[in-house]
Each structure stands twice: as structure tokens, then as C-alpha cells.
Amino acid sequence: MDGWIGTGKVRAREQGEAVEITIDGLTTQAKYYKPLVYEFMRKEWASRPSWGDYVVEIVMEHVGDPPWMDLDNLAKALLDAIKGYLFHDDSQVARLLVERREGERERISIRVFPRG
């Protein structure tokens, strides 16, 4: 399965220095994602957090009309969920891209990698 771990709504894999996380489905409640991703990271993720600056890219893909959700709230919920697993603190995020776009299916993709 191309190195993906996880069998539920949340899956993740390492691609070189980057970590990719996908979340299937969308909801209008950004706060829904924090415990969902946090539990996945706590139970499934084996890597330890690192120091240094990071780039985080978050893409929400929707089909039809986009859900009524503030992207800044989504970003905060997801950063809170991965903090302590991929990096130690939000202050390490040197670049943050959050994007909403039409896609083939409803999902959220997160890509985290060291700023080089």
C-alpha cells in the first residue's frame, strides 16, 4: 500500500524527509479533526518529534460546494494534533500553506517536512 499506515479515516506515510497524512471525508467542524488525528498519531505513529524549522502544507479537497469552514481553524486543529509527534512545538512551523480546492473526493491532505 505504498508505505501507508492506518486503516481508518486517517492514514500516514513517510516520503523521504516528508510525512504525508490523509484524512478521508469532510465535516464543517474543524474541532472534529484534532482528536481524530491526535488518536491516530498516538496509536499508530512510531517516529519521534524533531527540532528545527518545518513547512506544513494542508489541502482540503471538496466535491461540489466547499464546506462552510474557516481554514485557519482547520489549520490550528491539525497543528495541535500533530504537535509532539512530528515536531515539538507550533513555533517550529516556519511556513504554513492552507488551501481549499475542488478535488476528485473529499479529503484533507497534510504534508510536513523540514525547511531546507
pLDDT band at 1 (very low <50, low <70, confident <90, very high): very low
pLDDT band at 16 (very low <50, low <70, confident <90, very high): very high
Segment among 22-26, 51-55, 65-69 with least mean pLDDT: 65-69
Question: How many Å from the N-terminal Cα to the C-terminal Cα in the chain?
Answer: 28
User: Could you tell me the CA-to-CA distances from 2 to 11, 37, 50, 67 in Å, in that order?
Assistant: 11, 20, 24, 30
Report the predicted TM-score, pTM, of the whole model to 2 decimal places. 0.93
Q: What is the pLDDT of residues 83-110, one digit of tens each?
A: 999 999 999 999 999 999 999 999 999 9
Higher-confidence residue of 66 and 85: namely: 85
